[in-house]
């Protein structure tokens, strides 16, 4: 009996350690997610500050950030071009692809594959 009692005690100790490690891992994950969320919030706020600055001082951009502002403006122009191309593509007619539909010799189902999707028989040529 003493052997089983000792074995049970060791199993409980191992389970307790595993549970503690799982709690620690969960807590680390929660902290990592919270840190990432705060970092996204900082990035968003910096972006807003930058947009405000560029709009407020449009003609007076310092040389230190002029290249970055020009890169942003170039990207905005590219986006406008792509949006226009996207709109032009929407107006083009849709081309329909015609496939040779076959009738299954066994069950009569119609399909354009080599085998019937209903019964699995070869569709023939």
Question: DSSP for the chain?
Answer: -HHHHHHHHHHHHHHHHHHHHHHHHHHHHHHHHHHHHHHHHHHHHHHHHHHHHHHHTGGG--HHHHHHHHHHHHHHHHHHHHHHHHHHHHHSPPPPPP---EE-TTT--EESSSB-TTT--B---
pLDDT above 70 for 121: yes
pLDDT above 90 for 114: no
In this prediction, residue 36 carries a pLDDT of: 94
Whether the full predicted model's pTM is greater than 0.75, yes or no, is: no
pLDDT tens, position by position, 9-43: 888 888 888 888 888 889 999 999 999 999 999 99
pLDDT tens, position by position, 40-89: 999 999 999 999 998 888 888 888 888 998 998 999 999 999 999 888 88
In this prediction, residue 87 carries a pLDDT of: 85
Which position has the higher pLDDT, 94 or 120?
A: 120
């Amino acid at each position: 009996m003493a052997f089983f009692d000792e074995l049970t005690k060791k199993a409980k100790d191992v389970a307790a350690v595993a549970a503690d490690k799982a709690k620690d891992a969960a807590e680390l994950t929660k902290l990592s997610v919270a840190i990432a969320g705060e970092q996204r919030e900082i990035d968003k706020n910096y972006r807003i500050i930058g947009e405000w600055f560029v709009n407020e001082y449009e003609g007076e951009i310092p040389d230190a950030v002029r290249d970055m502002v020009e890169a942003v403006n170039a990207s905005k122009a590219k986006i406008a071009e792509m949006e226009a191309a996207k709109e032009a593509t929407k107006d083009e007619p849709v081309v329909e692809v015609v496939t040779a539909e076959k009738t299954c010799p066994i069950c009569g189902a119609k399909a354009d594959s080599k085998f019937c999707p209903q019964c699995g028989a070869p569709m023939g040529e």
